[in-house]
Amino acid sequence: MRVNGVAYRTVWMDGGAVKLIDQRLLPFRFKVVSLRTHQETAEAIRAMTVRGAGAIGVAAGYAMAQAARHAPARAFDRAMAEAAELLRGTRPTARNLFYSVERVLAGLPVGAPVAARRARAAAIAQAIADEDAARGRRIGALGQQLFRRGRSRVMTHCNAGWLAFADWGSALAPVYEAHHRGKRVSVWVMETRPRGQGARLTAWELGQEGVPYTVLADTAAGHVMRQGLVDFVIVGADRIAANGDVANKIGTYALAVLARAHRIPFYVAAPTTTIDLACPTGAEIPIEERGPDEVLRVSGPADDGRLAHVRVAADGAAARNWAFDVTPAAYLTGLLTERGLVAPGPRTIRALMRAPGRARPGAVRRALVHA
Ligand code: MRU
């Protein structure tokens, strides 16, 4: 997607360096950081310099390629196992990170010369990034069918746009595609406290693409829905269990309950790499809990332009900070993936994961009818 008219991916590899857009500074400053080792890339994931399920999956794949590049020939397997362990410990909830680490480890040719194994790790990491972008594009092409010819007012939470993936995004990909096709789309962007991914990242992304949007305080969702101002809700996912339960940014569950109360369709868009068949239900999805400071402070540029973290709670206040919540599958109208739209449940999820091919045009409408 474009930043000031220039095409970018969120994460890419340049020689041995992983380059990524520093999302901690957006929308106030646009800066690309360059990471020379897998340890630096792992730290960027942990510190949320890069964030969003797809983007951290891509960064983790590249980090594994960096680890292979620097692993000593005599202790190659041990070094790769240690790198995998380091990456798995950075952030627990998003499935894509684990998918990438496992895919690189599984793809290393056993007994091959180390040079061949390094080359293979780099090729797999690049394939993960390219496939992530292609899946987002496909989700966009399929999902744009949810938008009417007339005006559609959709609501989204957190950031499930191109900053959260290599490119395109999941929940925002259909928005971009519908907008490119000339459909009249406007987006209610939930602020998404405590980190403000909606106000800071989604608003910035939509602005770069010229899509009309309005930021709402998280507490305004019910009021806006009740006035009939939302045609449907579309959000991303960090991990989807085998029964269709969805872990996504904290606040998603509350939106789903509100949407159900107001009979507003509620869609989750995600690539199949976010589905974890090893998690039977949402109860088994590990939910990251972060430090209380993100709740007790807000950050933004001070008058001198430097990023300041100012307190917004009483001195000494206690806080809990769960980064994600789980929305039961029953609250979803549909799960949109690069393979089509399904009503989520154990049977449809299994069928989705078996389906090898691409969904045909028109598949979204047909799937909706069958849902
Ligand atoms: O904690 P973050 O910023 O990494 O959050 C993850 C997300 O981007 C959201 O939960 C999003 O809605 C999922 S789509 C990648």
Do 129 and 216 reside in the same domain of the chain?
no
Contact 147, 114 (CB under 8 A): no
Percent of the chain with pLDDT over 70: 96
Question: d(Cα 268, Cα 240) in Å, to the nearest integer?
Answer: 10
100 and 217 fall within a common domain: no
Task: Based on the fold, state whether residues 188 and 301 are members of the same structural domain.
Answer: yes
pLDDT given for residue 177 in this prediction: 98
For residue 77, report the distance from its CA to the centre of ligand 1, in Å.
Answer: 32
Is 54 within 8 Å of 96 (Cβ atoms)? yes
What's the number of domains the chain is made of?
2
Q: Where are the beta strands (DSSP E) in the chain?
A: 2-3, 6-7, 11-14, 17-21, 32-35, 151-156, 184-190, 213-216, 232-235, 239-241, 246-249, 266-269, 275-276, 297-301, 307-311, 324-327, 334-337, 340-342
Question: Are 118 and 163 in a shared domain?
Answer: no
User: Does residue 224 sit in the same domain as residue 102?
Assistant: no
Pocket probe mutation, ligand 1, options 20, 51, 193, max atoms within 8 Å of Cβ:
51
291, 163: one domain: yes
Final residue before a domain boundary, out of 101, 121, 136: 136
Q: What is the pLDDT of residue 370?
A: 35
**pLDDT-based confidence at 361, cuts 50/70/90?**
very low
pTM for the structure as a whole? 0.95
Residue nearest to atom 8 of ligand 1 (CA): 52
For ligand 1, whether the C-beta of 136 sits within 6 Å is no
- The model's pLDDT over 135-146, given as tens digits with 9 standing for 90+, comes to 999 999 999 999
Q: Which atom of ligand 1 is nearest to the CA of 160?
A: 14
- One domain, residues 178 and 83: no
Average pLDDT over residues 170-182: 97
Helix, strand, or coil (residue 283): helix
pLDDT score recorded for residue 161: 98
- If asked whether residues 17 and 94 sit together in one domain, one would say yes
Residues 56 and 145 in one domain: no
Which residues 6+ apart lie within 8 Å of 40 measured at CB?
18
Per-residue pLDDT tens over the stretch 289-311: 999 999 999 999 998 988 899 99
Of the residues 80, 102, 136, the one at which a domain ends: 136
Domain identity same for 87 and 172:
no
Task: Please tell me whether residues 235 and 156 are part of one structural domain.
Answer: yes
Mean of the pLDDT values across residues 109-124? 96
Distance from first CA to last CA of the chain, Å, rounded? 32
pLDDT tens-place string over residues 98-111: 999 999 999 999 98
When pLDDT is averaged across residues 258-269 and rounded to a whole number, the result is 98
Q: Is the pLDDT assigned to residue 368 strictly greater than 50?
A: no
How many Å lie between the centroid of ligand 1 and the Cα of residue 170? 10
Last residue of a domain, one of 113, 136, 159: 136
Q: What is the CATH number of the domain that holds 21?
A: 1.20.120.420
Segments forming the whole domain that contains residue 62: 2-136
Asked whether 327 lines ligand 1 (CB < 6 A), one says no
Mean of per-residue pLDDT scores for the chain: 95
Q: Which is it for the CA torsion 174, 176, 178, 184, positive or negative?
A: positive
The domain that contains 337 carries what CATH number? 3.40.50.10470
Q: Which atom of ligand 1 is nearest to the CA of 94?
A: 6
> Does ligand 1 lie within 6 Å of residue 10's CB atom?
no
* 83 and 125 within one domain: yes
